[in-house]
Structure 1
Amino acid sequence: MGYMYLCPNCKTNRSRFNLIEQVVHPIKVNPQSGEVISDYTNHEVEAFHMKYKGPQYRVQCGVCGVVEDERTFKKFAESNQQ
């Protein structure tokens, strides 16, 4: 890890965070029943199924509980160095 974080919400927490790793499981479901038709975990997705392009990590402030993209916490720390 090795990054400085600062909560953009409470603006005081620089030390207590929960790192949330986002694990993607692409699936196809039946629109009427909600039953999983296909699980693409180990395979390529179909032609019209967009691959996930979001962040690998999200961060939760251990003080106020706000959850944001990891970049938000890093950038806020960079712009508010002590």
Structure 2
Amino acid sequence: MTSPYCCPNCKTNRSRFNIIDQVVNAVRLDPQSGEVIEDYNGIDPGPIHAKYQGPAKRVQCGSCGLIEDERTFIKFGENHK
């Protein structure tokens, strides 16, 4: 987080943000009850279970509440100095 941010929605906030660290927990659920049958934390869930490929961090604007990928705030901050 060494780049300046700017909110692409409100376009004025450059200083108040919430950094959201996304924690992935792969599980297998019972289709009827929704209960966790298996927790794959720390083990390989196998070839049928797709790995999470989203961002590790998301950012929320402290003014308007917009939540987006960190790159969106960085790019808008670089282009609107």
Report the TM range for the smaller structure's normalisation.
over 0.9
SS of the equivalent of 1:20 reads strand
- The aligned counterpart of 2:12 is 12
Confirm whether residue 21 of structure 1 aligns to residue 40 of structure 2: no
Q: Which whole-Å CA distance do the structure 2 matches of 1:44 and 1:50 have between them?
A: 11
Where does the alignment leave 5 or more consecutive residues of structure 1 unmatched? none
Residue deviations 1:3-39, cap 9 Å, x none? 2100000000000000000000000001011111110
Q: Which whole-Å CA distance do the structure 2 matches of 1:78 and 1:45 have between them?
A: 39
Q: Per-residue deviation at 1:45?
A: 1.1
Where does the alignment leave 5 or more consecutive residues of structure 2 unmatched? none
The count of aligned residue pairs is 81
Report the TM-score when normalising by structure 1.
0.95
Output the amino acid matched with 1:76: F
